[in-house]
Amino acid sequence: MPLSTQERLAPAREQGAFEVMFEHAGFGVAHVSLEGEWLAVNQSLCDILGYSRSRLLDKSLRDICRFDDLDAELAECRRLRSGEVASFSSEKRHLRGDGRVVWLKATVTLVREDEAGGPASYLAIVEDLTPQRKVIQTLQAASKRADEAWRESEARFRVMADHAPVMMWMAGLDKGCTDFNRGWLAFTGRTLEQEQGDGWAVGVHPADLERCIHIYSTAFDVRIPFAMEYRLRRHDGQYRWIKDTGVPRFLPDGSFVGYIGCCVDVDDQKQAELERAELSRRLMNAQEAERARIARELHDGIGQSLALLGVQLQRAGQPTSSGKTSPGIAELCGKLKDIGHQVSRLSHELHSSELEFLGLAVAVKSLGREFSEQYHVAVDVACSDLPPDLDNHVALAFLRVVQEALHNVAKHSRATHVQIELTRAGDDLALKIADNGAGFDSNLIRSAAGLGLISMRERMHLIGGEFTVATQPGAGTIVQARAPLRGVPR
């Protein structure tokens, strides 16, 4: 049956519709021979590759594909021809007509031989990926620069941290410690692997561990800075007080990445605080004891002596029931003089009027003379080159050191001779008190020092001076003090 007119015109209409779609597609379309020659190209592909249609049709795939990508492109075409794949997509670099390189995505399908015996060919759909690639490359370059800057920053931080005169640590998001600087590892004597995670907690004093973990975890949960003090075991096994300060770490984008902290050994300051607290307690107790002693002397000694003297004055010269005569006026005057001496001694202990009006040398000599008379111990005092305008605080501090040292001699040393030397040494005042008494173990000076030694050391410290004690069992004791003549308050 012959074909109708409509049936005869259908292929032509289909061919015309295909040509319109081929030419006006918003992407590149190419019809390529198996040898890589262009058979047909649309305008979009010409625009992508930067050629006119006539010039592009004179080119081959080898002319526009970069040499290092060509082999991969041809290998994919061979797989397509062999039937191994039905189609393939590739992202390759190609050369534009102006010499610039563009990234193209090509989806290639094999067109089989037609019924008329025409050769097989390729149909390629081409997209320009260059803008996206540029964005990706820009982001990758920025990311690479950021990574390099971060690594460089971390390297600088590591160098700085390892040479910092403090102990430093870092912790991750799981609260486990990830890094410690050289100062921390040198202090603990442990390796980085031993300290990582929760390993560092092994060195914390058991009495401080629970409090330490509580402060750390509480701050970590709310991401706020913290500071705490705890005892950490040093490499020699000794526990030392350290002050640990930690702060949260955030990246430039604001994301939380853990904590960083630094620790300072504050054991010396801590011990000084404890010693001063103990000294304050002992000084208050000593003050109360001294008040009680003065009250007893006033009440039991001087008070009773005055009361008895008053009774005796009323009966002076009168006969008693036993027929004896009461003490006369001369005897009572002697007793009154003794009471006066007691009051004078007590007053002198509390405040030296001789120091105030006659100077340090006279006050020290008087103190040595009174001590010798009271305790029957030979005391030699040598004072030389003392300035007449000696600072009052310095003079009082040295007098109290002499007074306390003599008190210790009477109480502990069983000495028979004491030598006191007070002299000017340049811009300083130097004191030396030596006795031939029993002495004591010098190792006990710091660990079990009595209040007397502590008070002498503190008096010198307050005027910017120094205080030392040299002693051995059976070899006596030498107390030395030195301070600026004008004093340097601390």
What is the mean predicted confidence (pLDDT) over 156-168? 72
Whether the pLDDT of residue 12 is over 60: the answer is no
**Are 361 and 476 in a shared domain?**
yes
Characterize 48-71 residue by residue with b for buried, 16 or more Cβ atoms within 10 angstroms of its Cβ, and e for exposed.
bbbbeeeebeebebeebbeeeeee
Whether the pLDDT of residue 49 is over 50: the answer is yes
**Are 55 and 105 in a shared domain?**
yes
Q: Per the domain annotation, does 304 fall within a domain?
A: yes
Q: Per the domain annotation, does 50 fall within a domain?
A: yes
Last residue of a domain, one of 230, 265, 300: 265
Q: What is the pLDDT of residues 192-248, one digit of tens each?
A: 999 999 999 999 999 999 999 999 999 999 999 999 999 999 999 999 999 999 999
**Mapped to the 3 state alphabet, what secondary structure does the chain carry?**
CCCCHHHHHHHHHHHHHHHHHHHHCCCEEEEEECCCEEEEECHHHHHHHCCCHHHHHCCEHHHHECHHHHHHHHHHHHHHHCCCCCEEEEEEEEECCCCCEEEEEEEEEEECCCCCCCCCEEEEEEEECHHHHHHHHHHHHHHHHHHHHHHHHHHHHHHHHHHCCCEEEEECCCCCEEEECHHHHHHHCCCHHHHCECHHHHHECHHHHHHHHHHHHHHHHHCCCEEEEEEEECCCCCEEEEEEEEEEEECCCCCEEEEEEEEEECHHHHHHHHHHHHHHHHHHHHHHHHHHHHHHHHHHHHHHHHHHHHHHHHCCCCECCCCCECCCHHHHHHHHHHHHHHHHHHHHHHCCHHHHHHCHHHHHHHHHHHHHHHHCCEEEEEEECCCCCCCHHHHHHHHHHHHHHHHHHHHHHCCCEEEEEEEEECCEEEEEEEECCCCCCCCHHHHCCCHHHHHHHHHHHHCCCEEEEEECCCCCEEEEEEEECCCCCC
**Are 246 and 304 in a shared domain?**
no
Last residue of a domain, one of 350, 379, 397: 350
121-128 and 101-111 beta bridge pairing? antiparallel
Q: Per the domain annotation, does 489 fall within a domain?
A: yes
Q: What is the pTM of this model?
A: 0.41
Q: Per the domain annotation, does 453 fall within a domain?
A: yes
Distance CA 225, CA 260 (A): 10
Q: Per the domain annotation, does 43 fall within a domain?
A: yes
**Are 241 and 254 in a shared domain?**
yes
What per-residue confidence (pLDDT) applies to 332? Answer: 62
Whether the pLDDT of residue 317 is over 60: the answer is no
What per-residue confidence (pLDDT) applies to 3? Answer: 46
What per-residue confidence (pLDDT) applies to 448? Answer: 44
Q: What is the pLDDT of residues 267-304, one digit of tens each?
A: 988 888 877 777 766 766 666 566 666 656 665 566 56
Q: Per the domain annotation, does 273 fall within a domain?
A: no
What is the mean predicted confidence (pLDDT) over 370-380? 90
Whether the pLDDT of residue 445 is over 60: the answer is no
What per-residue confidence (pLDDT) applies to 13? Answer: 47
What per-residue confidence (pLDDT) applies to 9? Answer: 40
What per-residue confidence (pLDDT) applies to 134? Answer: 77
| C-beta pairs of 268-275 under 8 Å, 24+ apart in sequence | 270/229, 270/241, 271/241
Instruction: Answer with the residue of higher pLDDT: 26 or 420.
Output: 420
Residues facing residue 24 across a β-bridge: none
What per-residue confidence (pLDDT) applies to 222? Answer: 94
71 backbone φψ class: left, alpha, beta (φ>0; ψ -120 to 50): alpha
What per-residue confidence (pLDDT) applies to 5? Answer: 42
What is the mean predicted confidence (pLDDT) over 415-427? 92
Whether the pLDDT of residue 321 is over 60: the answer is no
Q: Please, which residues have CB within 8 angstroms of residue 159's CB and are 6 or more apart in sequence?
A: none
What per-residue confidence (pLDDT) applies to 89? Answer: 84
**248 and 224 Cβ atoms separated by less than 8 Å:** yes
**Are 149 and 178 in a shared domain?**
no
Q: Per the domain annotation, does 4 fall within a domain?
A: no
Distance CA 367, CA 403 (A): 7
Residues facing residue 178 across a β-bridge: none
**Are 358 and 488 in a shared domain?**
yes
Question: Which domain covers residue 52, as residue numbers?
Answer: 15-128
What per-residue confidence (pLDDT) applies to 340? Answer: 61
Residues facing residue 316 across a β-bridge: none
What per-residue confidence (pLDDT) applies to 115? Answer: 56
What per-residue confidence (pLDDT) applies to 420? Answer: 95
What per-residue confidence (pLDDT) applies to 8? Answer: 42
CATH number of the domain where residue 193 is located: 3.30.450.20
Count of structural domains within the chain: 5
What is the mean predicted confidence (pLDDT) over 382-400? 87
How open is the CA angle 253-255-257, to the nearest 5 degrees? 130
**Are 294 and 328 in a shared domain?**
yes
What is the mean predicted confidence (pLDDT) over 337-352? 61
